[in-house]
Structure 1
């Protein structure tokens, strides 16, 4: 990142100042004796270095003392808050006239002077923009049509949105907020069964889809049972067959254009929501069981956006040329929060922000272990890499799962923009902590956001104690959700009687007041000898092995040891194993006992170096050539392991491994 390059440059200049240079006369005499080509080379280096010094990026001024980024709260024992707050009171909004998402949009309309709001383009074509007023008019037409179809805040208020990112997604969502209705995002990776479950659970009667195939999926879901869906609105063109099939099912299928025209003919004045009103039901795909619907209010979302704006205050001065690239799915709360963040704040509707998850972060890299030792060349690399992203990216935010420190550091250097790492979950709207401007160290997720407090509580079974600055991460503040829709038992498991959200993650306070996520509380089991095992901790260590792409560690109370399923990295396995004198195709290597033993030896070595106890080490592994994925049902849409499905899928291999283990 720019500030990293600048900081390192300053250190380099200090070193140069401390060098013992010869007297000037001696130096001139020395230069006169050099060959011409050497002098030309020195001149080129001098010119290049001078250019770099004059154009190098400047470091950001940190918003607080980076040695103490969070402070103890007086009223909550063990809790810490952001050092940016002047008191223990959490932020609930940033702009006094934008306390709901609808008000945030209206503020954007006003401060932008009806500037461009939403843009989209086809491949190799320029963006086509809709103004704030155009978006508002279309949202009012869609919302009026929803009311005409019988939707109301006091009754049938839930609207399904089943589409990929596009302007019509945001227009449909805004239509809900304009008339105090509630949006329920649906997404492909949930699968037909989960989508059917959600529609039934929420009693959704209207679904807005992007393509006809999704409308057909919804009709398929209710082919043999009573259906709640009465209307499907489709953004893309469709044929009469879909309309006829809908009629057979008792469902009216309309184009978005027809729906907008219906609303225009039956126009209703906006019915704005209040901060405490529901905004979204965001279903999270758990590792087991049906999805859970997180109930989020306008106040939850505005508080989270306020915290982000506070942290980047004065560090990201937007201009009329800045845009927000909608990169993560709009059903993802991180994407929702960042998009809402900027509508009320800038001279344009969008922001110079790119939101990514760690998988996408790693996809930005074409290489590993890149080291740049000469700072002007690092600056050139920064410009080249940033140009590959369009040359205008000024801020990137990553969340959802950890990014390895080497990767994060490399990207900060190479991309030449502000690169933040956040931490959170849907249950606290999106984020509860985020790295500070000016702190470009890796390996932590920053201090608490200004909208919430964080405390660590004891997890005795895993020997994590708050007295040692370790424990389960708990969050409290106006960004914490109301609970799970229609599920008081799961809600009580998530939020305790004092209002603290228990995340299930294990954190550690670092001396500078930042939070480091070190483990996961869930998925703990006992081995036959009574030892507790946290498999995700072990998997995180083993994943550092070069030939390992993915690993699933398993054990149970009937066994005395652990075993694992490893998916080797198809790119690095051939390189890594060739050094050990083994060759062959990727599939052949996955069948090779020698390759398996080499990988087992490597991960056990990593485990020992990381301090794993002997019972925490896998005793044997099996190699599998196919990646765990959402498509094959082994990962959730947020790329977390579905442990029950993994166990079922690899039951035969696991039984075989245990049969061959000598205890």
Structure 2
């Protein structure tokens, strides 16, 4: 990723002086044509009649009657069907791409060969004794690669269900999932992942099918635990020899149980049917209009396939006959992979885009000429975007943004951003620099992924667009937080063909999330903007997501830190839009701490540090003492690295009902605390950057 550092070329001073004139002449000679928005930008969603104030998509004509899209074609309603549809659309074009080493070009598996290998692999699973039915769950623990998709499609050939595992779950959670879902077979990437599973393998795990070679010691270890080790290619050969007849899934059958990492307790298995996923994919395709993926598109796959954002994007590309190339597995080489693959379509997350933005800002900060040219380029491109012009061949693209575009392969035309909030200035920069359509979505695993999506032509950032065509959205009162639907604010609730079937073996938790009328309560608080788009403004249960996608429960962390003898009150805050350091793919949390006045004054006296509590709060030794003790308590309680604060601000005055920072029941008013301490929070993040 270091290749992103040198984004802005070093033009000579003379070129800077003539840049404006040259840009004007070039613009007049190659004046672009604006693209007409697919809906009226001042009214992007429809309001259904009735007291619930439900908003629906304008991209699907039946939405106004309270109906939601299930598919684009009547004969393509499962992920089994959609892959075959793509094979026809592509005329057996390239499907799955990879490269064996950094210096080698991408090689491709074409659709028909992918279909055959997937069928053989699925047949091999049946030959190993697995039942071809939606009650058979197949685990997969691997980075993105062709075998991931072959496993998925192979399972669908026999109506089986995919259950992804991933590293951030941890070994305990992986073991929990395997046991709860009664998974007998896991497709495992390599030796390391095999050993992680074997460490705590439940008795139900009987076979590990490995994509890469494993050590004899690992094979012996598996044998000692009663787990059979098989090679992926051998299962394919077995399946080809047996040639078991396919058992395609029904629309209502489960296709996946996607476990969310959760915030407290064990992960929950989100049950999604073929109809759920196909409906969500088709709704997004419908909303993209002419920008939708095509059979000649190539998508870069680097976001985890264990999460539904990536799964949806890939299945959308497959449905329309496009190709997907997988990154090498090393995020540091992503730029090299993109230059080799030259993708046209790409899903992304804020952490990547933040990093690109930060490196560009660092690069131009050392040169007055570069800053001037950059600002001129941004002004010109923003002006075009406001007029509906999306392009990457302007004078400013060639002069200023060329290296940004080349760093991402040079051919990107569509980017879908999700997973966490994205700062408006970063989104605007990415739109200008790439000259591609960049849309931002909001969603949850429980809704497959997409709930809302911004539309082409809407250049205003910091909202997440109107509902997609597979669901309706309403806001519900949250009186304890003073959010009311009548004011256009409240908890976001979703109903439609993308809403999940429930949590696996968790009926009570399902009923807590999906009400008796079929509305899924997201826990996020949103507000409708005047143009019918949604803006997420809060979290009902005060859970927020860091830029790398990890969930934080501040109350849990506060409960641990309050155990410190030095802490009287603590407010943990997460800023999703800022990273600790532009060279780290993570974000962090900080805290405002009110010290215990008696304990701190006693410690200060013993250590001969004079001053009032206000003076002591500004003393670096006092701050270090309190922060070290908080971190120590956090470690003892098992907090993960991203759950530990990276900085604290000491405040001498307690939070109280009188100063508006506590409720009458003495609970923290989180939005008010965040607003009250905004300068101090921003100062902490600026020092961490």
TM-score > 0.5, shorter chain as reference: yes
Please give the residue correspondences for 1:593-612 in structure 2 after superposition, counting only pairs within 5 Å: none
Q: Residue 301 in 1 paired to residue 277 in 2?
A: yes
Whole-angstrom CA distance in 2 between matches of 1:54 and 1:634 = 60
Bigger shift: 396-405 or 374-383? 374-383
Q: Report the secondary structure of 1:325's partner residue.
A: strand
CA contact (8 A) 1:471 1:508 kept: yes
Separation (CA, whole Å) in 2 of partners of 1:361 and 1:42: 31
Question: Structure 1 residue aligned with 2:465, among 432, 438, 446?
Answer: 446
**Alpha-carbon separation, structure 1, partners of 2:224 and 2:213:** 20
- Tell me whether 1:425 sits opposite 2:444 in the alignment: yes
Task: Identify which of 484, 494, 506 aligns with 1:465.
Answer: 484
2:44, 2:532 within 8 Å by CA — same for their partners in 1? Answer: yes
RMSD: 3.9
* 2:319 match: secondary structure: coil
Correspondent of 2:346 among 330, 347, 354: 354
CA distance in 2, matches of 1:103, 1:339: 15
Question: Deviation at 1:315?
Answer: 2.5
Q: Identify the residue that residue 56 of structure 2 maps to in structure 1.
A: 81
Deviates further, 553-562 or 394-403: 553-562
Q: Residues 20-40 of structure 1, C-alpha deviation per residue, up to 9 Å, x if partnerless?
A: xxxxxxxxxxxxxxxxxx999
Aligned match of 2:261 in 268, 285, 303?
A: 285
Kindly tell me: are residues 157 and 51 of structure 1, through their superposed partners in 2, closer, same or farther at Cα, counting changes over 3 Å? same
8 A contact 1:563–1:621 mirrored in 2: no
State the secondary structure of the residue aligned to 1:237: coil
Q: How does 1:80-479 map to 2 (within 5 A)?
A: 80-86=55-61, 87=64, 88-121=66-99, 122-154=101-133, 157-222=136-201, 227-316=203-292, 318=294, 320=296, 322-346=297-321, 352-365=344-357, 366-368=359-361, 372-374=375-377, 375=380, 378-379=396-397, 380-479=399-498
Change (3 A) 1:287 1:54: farther
Tell me the CA shift for residue 44 of structure 1: 7.0
Alignment partner of 1:46 is 2:38:
no
Deviations 1:486-520 (A, max 9, x none): 00111011100000000000000000000000000
Query: Compared with structure 1, are the counterparts of its residues 57 and 286 closer, same or farther at alpha carbon in structure 2 (3 Å cutoff)?
Result: farther
**2:37/2:457 contact within 8 Å kept:** yes
CA contact (8 A) 2:133 2:158 kept: no
- Shift of residue 49 of structure 1? 2.1
Answer with 357-366 or 386-395: which moved more. Answer: 357-366
- Provide the rounded CA distance (Å) in 1 between the counterparts of 2:530 and 2:420: 23
Aligned-residue offset at 1:274: 1.1
Q: Aligned-pair distance for 1:115?
A: 1.1
Query: Cα offset for 1:198?
Result: 0.3
After superposition, the C-alpha distances for 1:72-103 in whole angstroms (9 at most, x for unaligned) are 11367211101222233111111222110010
* Cα displacement string for residues 607-628 of structure 1 (whole angstroms, at most 9, x for unaligned residues): xxxxxxxxxxxxx9849999xx
Answer yes or no: is the 8 Å Cα contact 1:494–1:501 preserved in 2. Answer: yes
Residue 509 (structure 1) aligned with residue 528 (structure 2): yes
- Alignment partner, residue 676 of structure 2: none
> For residues 76 and 430 of structure 1, what CA distance do their matches in structure 2 show?
27
Aligned to 2:539: 520
Deviation at 1:521, TM superposition (A): 0.3
Q: Give deviations 1:316-343, integer Å, cap 9, x for gaps.
A: 46352x2011121001101000111121
After superposing the two structures, state which structure 1 stretch, 349-358 or 194-203, moved more: 349-358
1:60 Cα deviation after fit: 2.6
Q: Is the 8 A contact 2:134 2:254 kept in 1?
A: no
Contact 1:159–1:204 under 8 Å retained in 2: yes
CA distance in 2, matches of 1:240, 1:84: 56
Q: 1:250 to 1:42 in 2, by over 3 A?
A: closer
Query: Kindly tell me: are residues 246 and 117 of structure 1, through their superposed partners in 2, closer, same or farther at Cα, counting changes over 3 Å?
Result: same
Alpha-carbon deviation of 1:276? Answer: 0.5
Using a 3 Å threshold, how does the CA distance of structure 1 residues 483 and 635 change in structure 2: closer, same or farther?
farther
Distance across 1 between alignment mates of 2:574 and 2:94: 49
Task: State whether residues 383 and 416 of structure 1, in contact with CA within 8 Å, keep that contact through their aligned partners in structure 2.
Answer: no
Distance 2:185 2:253 in 1: 20
Taking the aligned partners of 2:149 and 2:638, their CA distance within structure 1 comes to 29
Structure 2: gaps of 5 or more residues: 1-12, 326-342, 366-370, 381-393, 584-608, 619-624, 657-689
* Cα distance in 1 between the residues matched to 2:650 and 2:256: 46
Q: CA 1:241–1:508 in structure 2 vs 1: closer, same or farther (change >3 Å)?
A: same
Note the C-alpha offset of 1:314: 1.4
8 Å Cα contact 1:476-1:499 kept in structure 2: yes
Give the Å deviation of 1:367: 4.1
Give me the whole-angstrom Cα distance separating, in 2, the residues matched to 1:119 and 1:625: 48
- Name the CA shift for 1:394/1:597 in 2 (closer, same or farther; >3 Å): farther
Q: What is the rounded CA distance, in whole Å, between the counterparts of 2:125 and 2:418 in structure 1?
A: 34
Deviates more, 1:149-158 or 1:331-340: 149-158
Greater shift in the superposed pair: 460-469 or 231-240 = 231-240
Cα distance in 1, alignment partners of residues 24 and 91 from structure 2: 44
Q: Structure 2: how far apart are the matches of 1:286 and 1:419?
A: 29
The alpha carbon displacement at 1:199 in A equals: 0.3
Contact between 2:268 and 2:504, CA under 8 Å: does it hold in 1? yes
CA deviations on 1:339-366 (whole Å, 9 max, x unpaired) are: 1112122465788321112222212221
Structure number with bigger Rg: 1
TM-score (normalizing by structure 2) = 0.72
Question: Are 1:483 and 2:498 an aligned pair?
Answer: no
Q: In structure 2, how many angstroms separate the alpha carbons of the residues matched to 1:551 and 1:148?
A: 45
For the Cα contact (< 8 Å) 1:372–1:378, is it kept in 2? no
Secondary structure at 1:261 match in 2: helix
The structural deviation recorded for 1:153 is 4.2
Report the Cα distance in structure 1 between the residues aligned to 2:460 and 2:294, rounded to whole angstroms: 25
Closer, same or farther in 2 for the Cα pair 1:156/1:39, shift >3 Å? closer
Partner residue, 1:585: none
Deviation by residue 1:119-153 (Cα, 9 ceiling, x = unmatched): 00121211110111111111111101111122224
Shift of 1:562: 4.0
State how far apart, in whole Å, the 1-side matches of 2:16 and 2:209 are.
Answer: 67
Q: Secondary structure at the match of 1:159?
A: strand
1:256, distance to aligned residue in structure 2 (A): 0.9
